[in-house]
Chains A and B, each alone.
Chain A
Amino acid sequence: MKNKILPFSVIIIFGIIFFIFYKGLQNSNIYTPDKNISSDIPSTNFKNFNSNIIFNSLNFFQDDKVYLLNIWSSWCIPCRQEHNFLMSLKKKKKIILIGINYKDNKKNAENFLKELGNPYDQIFIDNDGTISIEWGAFGVPESYLISNNKIIKKYIGPLNQQYVDEINLLIK
């Protein structure tokens, strides 16, 4: 009898360990880069792409509108991929698209927009990358969904159909 108890208890212990790892696997999204908790907008100075007018980000966003702030660059290949999604968002006209042109050459940026179309309502320049750092961006492209002067969602990497569907749901 004693010989039977040991194997069973060992198997049960490992069964429990399996279960806990299995559960742990399901809330492993702690480390996915989506930022679901809404946070305040950082205070940065936005410099307009065409003129030299400077806004402060705290005064710029209006409470009753939804914004998508998109960090992009003409040299960034994934930005090309997400461009169509930005164009499709623009067509919906329910969201204001803000472009932050990251560490770019102005000519190249203009050509990029000429070639693929300009989805942005406003473009600001981030020559040295400080604005993007202030916003907590890891790289380009990256997008922030802003509503009521809060960042409600952060998308790292190029936008895809799934993200766009999610944005469309949120702005309905």
Chain B
Amino acid sequence: MIYSLVGYYSLIIGLIIGLSLFYFSYKNFKNSNILDTKILSFTFLQLFFVVISFLCLIFSFVISDFSNETVFNNSHTTKPLFYKISGTWGNHEGSLLLWLLVLTLFVFLFLVRTKNQPVKYKILTLVFQQIIIVGFFLFLIKTSNPFNYIFPIPTEGLGLNPILQDPALAIHPPVLYLGYVGSSIIFSSVLAATSLKIISTSWASHIKKWILISWIFLTLGILLGSIWAYYELGWGGFWFWDPVENVSLMPWLALTTLLHCILVLEKKSILTSWVIILSIATFTLSMCGTFLVRSGILNSVHTFANDPERGLFILVFLFILIFLSILIFFFFHKDNDRKSHSFFWLSKETSILINNWFMMYFLSVVLIGTVYPIFLDVISSQKISVGPPFYHKLIIPFLIPFLLMMAIGPKFKWIKSQLEDKIYLISFLIISLLLAFLILKNFNQNILINTILISSALYLFFITLRDFFVKKYKNISQNIAHFGFSLLILSILFNNIFASEIITNLKVGETFENSKTKIVFESVDQKKEKNYNAIIANFSISNLNGEEDRFSPELRIYNQPVIATSEADIKTTLMSDKFIVINLVQNQDFFNVRYQVKPFMLWIWLSVILISFGGIVSFLQKRS
């Protein structure tokens, strides 16, 4: 009760501080030699009050204060403490409070950490960021207040959706938000730098660390979401091209492109328009993602409640930001890199430009696949759904030149270059082709596109691997990330090509056998836990070599709310994952059993970690 009050008024105070910051910024902007200390302390105060408000919500969840509507809707006394806390951001209101927390945290850190940049630039960045912050304060207080009362006070809450009760998902939102919302500071500072016309090499190396932070967290956040989908949803896949996944992928693509552009800008002071547009695009795509999933236009686990008012608010706010940035871009930005059109064809900047166009192509494929069904529905009332085949057909062929460019591109020098080590490059290409051919021949999977794809991924793999041992190339972070990417593509390809699946219906005591695998359904147990009851099925599965594994997948009936879920049992080894999931067949004694062997599953996760590790290395390098 008291926590809700404190939390709510903290929000109001935060909003008032946000508004007063506009005034201080205006005064400071006119005579700006040094940054007014008031601005810094008020920004800190704003962060402080948002933190208080967030803590209040967490406490309300911990003590199960059901007079709070958000707690009532999303918690239950029998939930384990860990999920009570993670339930705080497992709902619309709480997650928006988390947005706000990250927004205020980033602007405060930005003001503290930014040195050697004009004061006007800092103030203007703060102003743009405050526009976003105030917008979100209004959104939160007006349409999705996390501290609404319920009277009479219910004795019990409705519970957290069981599929959200998972360790990976508990930390997925905070990590993802650090990336997603972190891009807001890039957006604000780009607008500020454009208006002041100070986009330069020094600005680029200053903003680069912020881009890296967002990028690292966004990568890890997407990874966590993907791991969750693999373990919890029980479909045995890790990426479904679901609209919600796509809206997180789009900012990532834009941010990755931006990261490459900023490197060029840092060295050569060209591609400024690219940098500005990509920075704007990254944040607006993040916002657009929020709009799409929260307004209920798209349906997913992230659509917490359908409230058209909320959707309308974000939509209007999003387009205000878009129009603001368009105006600033066209009004202040004069394209001064005419010389950029004449850069030499064989140089690092050319290869990064090619990379940009590839990335933009991937981005537009994902964007069209996600948004086009909405457009079609509005224009002609036709409902279509865009599934994996669309993305696979449009993206996979283009991965081949993309991978080759990734291998060769970093070899070029700035401005003008010649390809060195030609013999190595060509011999590696031949080795990769042969190796890919042999691997696929061995497994009777010899399809031309697969061979070419695997050989181009292998090529990138070998080239980057070799570069670890050649001292000449000092760009270790780039090499780690590209190496990780080659590993990712290889793992995904092998995972897809060599996966095997058995689907069958079994009763207790029955055995399924084919040429390679023997599945014995041994027994069924029951288990009672605090927040669910479970049926545990025991299987013993042996393969040709006589290796035997025991599996116990579960069917869980959660008590609040009453929802049945299937918990897959997964045995992870270095080389492959064995995955078994059961479902009850309606009105019969049979269980539907799905057993999959998925090679290189672990490597998918590891390679993404490696990619973000490349980012971390680059981040640490810059600071020293």
Contact B299 A20 (CB under 8 A): no
Contact A21 B291 (CB under 8 A): yes
Q: Name which of B370-378, B393-401, B490-498 contacts chain A.
A: B370-378
Contact B156 A77 (CB under 8 A): yes
A22 at the interface (CB under 8 A from B): yes
CA distance A31 to B323 in the complex (A): 30
Contact A27 B562 (CB under 8 A): no
B205 at the interface (CB under 8 A from A): no
CA distance A26 to B311 in the complex (A): 10
Contacts A10-B326, A139-B561, A140-B562 given; indicate if A24 touches B158 (C-beta within 8 A).
no
For A29, the chain B residues whose CB sits under 8 A away are 306
B239 at the interface (CB under 8 A from A): no
CA distance A26 to B374 in the complex (A): 12
For A21, the chain B residues whose CB sits under 8 A away are 291, 297, 315, 374
Contact B154 A77 (CB under 8 A): yes
Nearest CB of A to B80, in Å: 20
Contact A78 B378 (CB under 8 A): no
CA distance A24 to B375 in the complex (A): 8
Nearest CB of B to A147, in Å: 27
B330 at the interface (CB under 8 A from A): yes
For B171, the chain A residues whose CB sits under 8 A away are none
Contact residues of B between 313 and 349, Cβ < 8 Å to A: 315, 319, 322-323, 326-327, 330
- Give the size category of B's interface with A: 20 to 34
For B296, the chain A residues whose CB sits under 8 A away are 28, 31
Contact A11 B295 (CB under 8 A): no
B37 at the interface (CB under 8 A from A): no
CA distance A22 to B378 in the complex (A): 9
Shortest Cβ distance from A23 into B: residue: B378
Contact A77 B155 (CB under 8 A): yes
Contacts A14-B319, A139-B562, A140-B562 given; indicate if A20 touches B158 (C-beta within 8 A).
no
CA distance A23 to B311 in the complex (A): 11
Contact B374 A14 (CB under 8 A): no
B283-322: contact bitstring with A at CB < 8 Å (1 yes, 0 no)? Answer: 0000000010001110100010010100110010001001
CA distance A22 to B312 in the complex (A): 7
Q: Which of B158, B299, B322, B330 contacts A14 (CB 8 A)?
A: B322
Q: Which of B154, B312, B327, B375 contacts A20 (CB 8 A)?
A: B375
A6 at the interface (CB under 8 A from B): yes
CA distance A21 to B299 in the complex (A): 15
CA distance A7 to B378 in the complex (A): 26
SS of A interface (majority): helix
Contact A25 B379 (CB under 8 A): no
Nearest CB of A to B408, in Å: 34
Shortest Cβ distance from A29 into B: residue: B306
A130 at the interface (CB under 8 A from B): yes
Contact B308 A6 (CB under 8 A): no
B563 at the interface (CB under 8 A from A): yes
Contact B319 A18 (CB under 8 A): yes
B116 at the interface (CB under 8 A from A): no
CA distance A14 to B330 in the complex (A): 15
A32 at the interface (CB under 8 A from B): yes
Contact residues of A between 27 and 84, Cβ < 8 Å to B: 27-32, 77-78
Nearest CB of A to B251, in Å: 17
Nearest CB of A to B379, in Å: 7
CA distance A35 to B323 in the complex (A): 39
B385 at the interface (CB under 8 A from A): no
CA distance A32 to B295 in the complex (A): 12
Contact residues of A between 91 and 113, Cβ < 8 Å to B: none
For B326, the chain A residues whose CB sits under 8 A away are 7, 10-11, 14
CA distance A32 to B303 in the complex (A): 11
For A140, the chain B residues whose CB sits under 8 A away are 562
B587 at the interface (CB under 8 A from A): yes
Contact A28 B323 (CB under 8 A): no
Contact B374 A31 (CB under 8 A): no
For A27, the chain B residues whose CB sits under 8 A away are 377-378
Nearest CB of A to B424, in Å: 45
Choose among A10, A20, A21 the residue with the greatest number of B CB atoms under 10 Å from its CB: A21
Nearest CB of A to B303, in Å: 7
CA distance A10 to B158 in the complex (A): 46
For B315, the chain A residues whose CB sits under 8 A away are 18, 21-22, 25
CA distance A26 to B158 in the complex (A): 28
Nearest CB of B to A35, in Å: 15
Contact residues of B between 387 and 438, Cβ < 8 Å to A: none
Contact A130 B308 (CB under 8 A): no
For B563, the chain A residues whose CB sits under 8 A away are 139
For B291, the chain A residues whose CB sits under 8 A away are 21
Shortest Cβ distance from A7 into B: residue: B330
For A28, the chain B residues whose CB sits under 8 A away are 295-297, 306, 308, 311
Nearest CB of A to B391, in Å: 22
Q: Which of A14, A25, A31 contacts B303 (CB 8 A)?
A: A31
CA distance A29 to B374 in the complex (A): 13
CA distance A31 to B303 in the complex (A): 10
For B306, the chain A residues whose CB sits under 8 A away are 28-29, 31-32
B585-606: contact bitstring with A at CB < 8 Å (1 yes, 0 no)? Answer: 0110000000000000000000
Nearest CB of B to A128, in Å: 10
For B312, the chain A residues whose CB sits under 8 A away are 22, 25
Nearest CB of A to B317, in Å: 11
For B297, the chain A residues whose CB sits under 8 A away are 21, 24-25, 28
CA distance A154 to B512 in the complex (A): 42
For B322, the chain A residues whose CB sits under 8 A away are 14
Shortest Cβ distance from B381 into A: residue: A27
Shortest Cβ distance from A16 into B: residue: B375
Nearest CB of B to A20, in Å: 5
Shortest Cβ distance from A139 into B: residue: B562
CA distance A122 to B330 in the complex (A): 71
For A139, the chain B residues whose CB sits under 8 A away are 561-563
Contact B374 A24 (CB under 8 A): yes
For B586, the chain A residues whose CB sits under 8 A away are 133
Nearest CB of A to B308, in Å: 6
For B330, the chain A residues whose CB sits under 8 A away are 6-7, 10
CA distance A29 to B297 in the complex (A): 8
* Residues in A lying within 8 Å of B, measured CB to CB: 6-7, 10-11, 14, 18, 20-32, 77-78, 130, 133, 139-140
- A-B contact sample (12 more), CB < 8 A, given A20-B374, A24-B374: A7-B330, A20-B375, A26-B308, A27-B377, A28-B296, A28-B311, A31-B299, A31-B306, A77-B154, A78-B158, A133-B586, A139-B561
Task: Show 10 residue pairs from A and B whose CB-CB distance is below 8 angstroms, ordered by the A residue.
Answer: A7-B326, A7-B327, A11-B326, A21-B291, A25-B308, A25-B312, A25-B315, A28-B311, A32-B306, A78-B158
